[in-house]
Structure 1
Amino acid sequence: MMNQDGQFGQYGGSYIPEILFNSQQELLKAYQDAMADPAFIAEVKDQLQHYSGRPTPLTHCSRLSAAIGGAQIYLKREDLNHSGAHKMNNVIGQGLLAKRMGKRRVIAETGAGQHGIASALVSARLGLDCTIYMGAHDIERQYPNVFWMKQLGATVVPVKEGSATLKDALDEALRDWSSNYADTYYLIGTSCGCTPYPEMVSGFQSVIGEEVKEQAINQFGTLPDKIYACVGGGSNACGIFLPFLNEDVELVGVEAGGRSDAPGDHAMRFNTDQARFGIAQGFATKFLQDEQGQLQPTHSISAGLDYVGVSPILADLEEQGKVRMTQARDTEVMQAFQQLASNEGIIAALESSHAIAAGLREAAEMDPSQKIVINVSGRGDKDIFNIAKALQDEPFNDFIQSYLTQENS
């Protein structure tokens, strides 16, 4: 898929400051050397199994399938990874690469905080200093994750510029890398950025789809008819989609439809006329832009899906017709979250609940003999405050107020 210039069709590439060129070339060579080294691959697999807990199961949702009345619904349980999300797959690989390169310090950006948690965990395990850049708005929405990052020894830097979300955190991380590239490894959390990050992140995440292939054959004797994944930057979607590109399986990405189609009310890069080709943050892809080319503000009920761009890999695959993109509104996401929790006892992240929403919507129109797989990219513990707010759960709000009153008395 990727050409020698690190591009996927017209997307991808390396559009970076000259000061980062040598560092980017160092990373590219180190990555290529590592992936050709059986000992490195074995070490990654060992850590995935014995530290993160892979393989994650493929869970049949019999009660939810019956309630929907259509296709049989299966969930790929990335929420059962150590740290509670798919992020660990990529962070283990990049953390070991940083160690191999002799870097003493890791920097990362995070939106929902799951990549920040995973980066802090692996840095602690490997003895690396860790700095996490996170939008101030996302810190407010995801403070439990921030708390744990700090307990793991990471420095969390609030980014107050711009919309104070993932886009701005990524900008700050790039600035840090530009100033400290000699001893610092930039651990990108999604399949975006300059070469080789899109290929590298997607490659480490492809363990998801490889496991689904084997598990589907073992559990129901065939490959699924459709696979769904939420799409922010795109790492969990690439991870489950890429191993199926040459199979007769429909691949469906689900964007954050937000509140409405109005600018600033969503984070859709495909299901909108507000996104176009652009170059920013080191690579080319589809970005939400105004008529002057300025990046637009975004919104999602989930902190991890409000990125203004998307993986160049997914942009290219959608353009080729190999991946179909749809969306889910905030209200539909909350309904899907509740349906899964009440029918199957699984608490999904709000990011993953976008994929669940679209999967349930389309499963209802399918035959009961058909099978769909939905990637549950993370668990919803981190979203408790946002979920309680969205559900207007007054007892929870009363509990928080009472707890704070007691602590301050």
Structure 2
Amino acid sequence: MNYQVDENGFYGNFGGAFVPEVLQKNIDELQEQYRLVLEEPEFQREMNQLLADYVGRPTPLYFARGLSKKYQTKVYLKREDLCHTGAHKINNTIGQVLLAQRLGKKKIVAETGAGQHGVATATVCALMGMECIVYMGALDMERQAPNVARMKMLGAEVRAAQSGAKTLKEAVDEALMHWIENPDDTFYIIGSVVGPHPYPDMVARFQSVISKEIKAQLQLAEGRSTPDYVIACVGGGSNATGAFYHFFDEENVRLIVAEGGGKGIDSGQTAATSFIGKTGVLHGSKTLFMQGDDGNPLEAYSISAGLDYPGFGPLYAHLKAVDRVDFLAIEDDSAMKAALELCKTEGIIPALESAHALAVLDKMVFKPEDVVVINLSGRGDKDLDNYAAYFNL
């Protein structure tokens, strides 16, 4: 199987670039330039130096003794929560801001759900002296108030998306409209492996540092570079793609996706795209997304602001079609239980998104000799109000 994008921007039958005419010039420029720029030695040098000295890479691969004992297997946590800004998102924003500068852009626009991509974008824009506008669903701004404050402190303008469900889809809609209205001086930084080609491939390449490190770290810890399982949560799919990237061709490595199950797949309050999604075009690419009879996106729901997106990136539509990954819908209560368990057993407070991946441990049976890697994509500071309300703290 081929898990890389083809020359037309497709993963199998999914992907492509379906954009308004006004953006075609920008997309064409990106498609022509991104691989050339990314492979420049000076670009690689600058990006790698920032990842090491500013982000704090490599992040640890931590052997979780408490979880390993409880589940009678070897559980490792890839600690992306220890990145500067508290999540994996900055791996991508550093790369895209450096690319934007080389393309002569002066302003940055971005969308954000849980706020981590917005914080990471605002952080790198502050570092690089670039103007930054971040669109965020009005509901997500309420749920993730600490991240809104962080973005503003970093100098970004945060604009509320007031339409629809007031969450991530609407933020993407608004950010795309802003880009349509300002195509000449503005670069749109997409935070996940979604959108028109080349964004899914570009974000995947920037996040692939995660699995590259996992391979090297496992070699030292276990004497082998491949685990038996890699588990990650998926909204759009950026952290999972980073964790899976160097294992796609390793057929002996089982890849597990944890989606936002919400109140249940059949409840009408879910973000479980792999179970109820249909093929269509969403935000510039052909993919799977939850849609009504009219083909319009349904409102997604998850207790996690980073998972309530009605679809996922075209790579995941392809991975489902060829049966390369296993999808599990994790309901809110299971994610909350898993988050508290990590706090009590390992002294780590996870992001609500990451808690969905942790909940997979309760859904499967592992062998004692299995090596299970869970991508801990973010830390839980931003979710403390949600945890406090849920657990009556």
TM-score class, shorter-chain normalisation, is over 0.9
Report the AA paired with residue 3 of structure 1. Answer: D
Partner SS, residue 228 of structure 1: strand
Aligned Cα root-mean-square deviation (Å): 1.0
Offset at residue 124 of structure 1 (A): 0.3
Contact 2:301 2:308 in 1 (8 A): yes
Q: Return structure 1 stretches of 4+ with deviation > 3 angstroms.
A: none
Alignment partners' CA distance in 2, 1:292 and 1:333: 32
Contact 2:265 2:329 in 1 (8 A): no
Alignment partners' CA distance in 1, 2:35 and 2:328: 34
Report the AA paired with residue 137 of structure 2. Answer: G
Q: Which residue of 2 aligns with 1:101?
A: 103
Contact 1:256 1:300 in 2 (8 A): yes
Say which of 60, 65, 74 aligns to 1:62: 65
Percent of aligned pairs with the same amino acid: 46
The answer as to 2:297 corresponding to 1:289 is no
Q: Which residue of 2 aligns with 1:353?
A: 355
Q: TM-score scaled by structure 2?
A: 0.97
Report the AA paired with residue 62 of structure 1. Answer: R
Q: Which residue of 2 aligns with 1:10?
A: 13
Alignment deviations for residues 239-267 of structure 1 (CA, whole Å, 9 cap, x no partner) = 11110012221001110111122353110
The answer as to 2:230 corresponding to 1:227 is yes
Q: Which residue of 2 aligns with 1:251?
A: 255
Q: Which residue of 2 aligns with 1:135?
A: 137
Contact 2:237 2:313 in 1 (8 A): yes
Specify every segment of 5 or more residues in structure 2 that has no aligned partner in the other structure, as ranges. none
Alignment deviations for residues 61-89 of structure 1 (CA, whole Å, 9 cap, x no partner) = 11221123x21111000000000000010
Alignment partners' CA distance in 2, 1:100 and 1:302: 35
Alignment deviations for residues 310-349 of structure 1 (CA, whole Å, 9 cap, x no partner) = 0101110121111111121111111100111101111110
The answer as to 2:44 corresponding to 1:41 is yes
Q: Which residue of 2 aligns with 1:399?
A: none
Alignment partners' CA distance in 2, 1:357 and 1:295: 27
Alignment partners' CA distance in 1, 2:168 and 2:191: 11
Alignment partners' CA distance in 1, 2:322 and 2:254: 13
Say which of 216, 221, 244 aligns to 1:241: 244
Offset at residue 130 of structure 1 (A): 0.1
Report the AA paired with residue 386 of structure 1. Answer: N
Contact 1:30 1:97 in 2 (8 A): no
Alignment deviations for residues 359-406 of structure 1 (CA, whole Å, 9 cap, x no partner) = 3432xx22212110000000000001111111122xxxxxxxxxxxxx
Q: Which residue of 1 aligns with 2:376?
A: 376
Q: Which residue of 2 aligns with 1:304?
A: 306
The answer as to 2:275 corresponding to 1:266 is no
Alignment deviations for residues 119-178 of structure 1 (CA, whole Å, 9 cap, x no partner) = 000000001000000000000000100001001000000000011000000000010101
Offset at residue 224 of structure 1 (A): 1.2
Larger CA deviation: 292-301 vs 158-167: 292-301
Specify every segment of 5 or more residues in structure 1 that has no aligned partner in the other structure, as ranges. 394-409
Report the AA paired with residue 264 of structure 1. Answer: G
Q: TM-score scaled by structure 1?
A: 0.93
**Count of aligned pairs between the two proteins:** 388
Alignment partners' CA distance in 1, 2:220 and 2:317: 32
Alignment partners' CA distance in 2, 1:211 and 1:279: 34
Alignment partners' CA distance in 2, 1:10 and 1:264: 28
